[in-house]
Structure 1
Amino acid sequence: MLQGKIFKVVLTGVTTCTLFAAGFTTQASSLMPEAVTIESIDEYAGNTMLTKTAETIPASETADTKKAAKEAKIAYEEEQKRIEEQKKAEEQKRQKEEARLAAEEAQKAAEAEAAQQEAEQQEAAEAEVQEAAAPQAAADLELLASIIFCEAGNQPYEGQVAVGAVIINRVNSGVYPGSISEVIYQSGQFGPAMTGWLDSVLASGGYTDTAMQAAADALAGSNPIGDCLYFGNGDYGIQIGDHFFH
């Protein structure tokens, strides 16, 4: 029974050595000076017994293993380095993209602010123009209402608007002076302006509310007589009330 146990130990040792030997059969067949010997302990016998000299493992295989391990380590370190560089490149790319987006947002904000400032400046300029023009507009309105009253105060409302439209047509014609005052006071054109009656009505505010409304409508673009530049008591043109417009 002891011999059976010894045989099992020897068989185990031989199997183990065979796995490590990888192709070598005996110590004598190897030219390498280094070898590994595997011993087995017979626990039942209480002695260390040399059950079998295992097949040797050449030192070149150990060197190859060390070389492979070194190469694997180098490859691992290079891979880690590559990963780190890739992460760094991706981080730089992310930071660059964030900076680009931030710059675009800042540019948009600056453009919006500039546009807002320009709009405010333009609005302020228009307000100044309107404020400056307001007194003149009010004066033109009163003057136009006064001449309408003098020339057509006894005519239908449409006829009063038509007189105002004639004056506006002359201002816009390019043939007559370019302002309401200059058209009305042009020499030889409107009788009330030549006789002083117009100035009297204007100074006293003697025009009617109807004449004022007709003047406002004419200034706003109301025009029942087209491009007519004249009116009077003739017998041709567009007749409105007692006046003919042509």
Structure 2
Amino acid sequence: MKFNKNKRMFLAMYTAMMSTVMLTGFASSTEAQEQSAVESEVSTESSDQEETLDDTQSAGDVGTDWCVSKEVIDVQSGMIENVKIAAVEAKIAYEAKLEEERRAAEEAERIAREKAEAEAAAAAQAEAEAAQQAEKELLASLIFCEAGNQPYEGQVAVGAVVMNRIKSSSYPDTMEEVIYQSGQFSPAMSGWLDRVRANQGYTEAAMQAAEDALAGSNPIGDCLYFSVGGYGTRIGDHLFH
């Protein structure tokens, strides 16, 4: 509107002072300058708007990129943390498994050791009992051969003589060595003793007398000999000295 007003003023002045040709040239020149100025202003505003729009879009793009990158970083960090936690839990579980296996192995070893010890103790006990039974049978067989027809006290006395000899330093230290010592007990020398032992031919009284003698029963003191004749403490047909 300002442009049109100025134009009318210049036209009036031109009519009054100048020729139609000069006014027309002046007006055309002025109009061209004005049009150029307006177009330049419009172009500048459009450029500014485009720059503003670009800046806004760029800012939005940057913000969007920043948000996406942060989310990716957060996800990656969470994954790494989960992996670390899983690794720690796996290590704890593995160590717990090893500890459980170690305890199980120790328990199995303890049970096996106790079983072996119990078996060894049982075997030793059985062996000791077998040895004791063999000694009782040996002594019972000798008592039967030497005094099977004598009173019970005389049978115990024969067993006490054998026990006294085992304790004496003048004789062997075991029952078998004492009984089978050369020239001492005639049933052992003749083989009769072995036959009685093999067949368990001793009597119950002879076995009981042997058990009593082994338990410490001793009616003849420290006597080391007995015989049918001679001297000593008489029990039945035997004299103990």
TM-score, normalization by structure 1 = 0.48
Of Structure 1 and Structure 2, which has the larger fraction of its residues in helix?
2
TM-score, normalization by structure 2 = 0.49
* Larger RCO (CA under 8 A, 6+ residues apart): 2
Instruction: Say which one has the larger Rg.
Output: 2
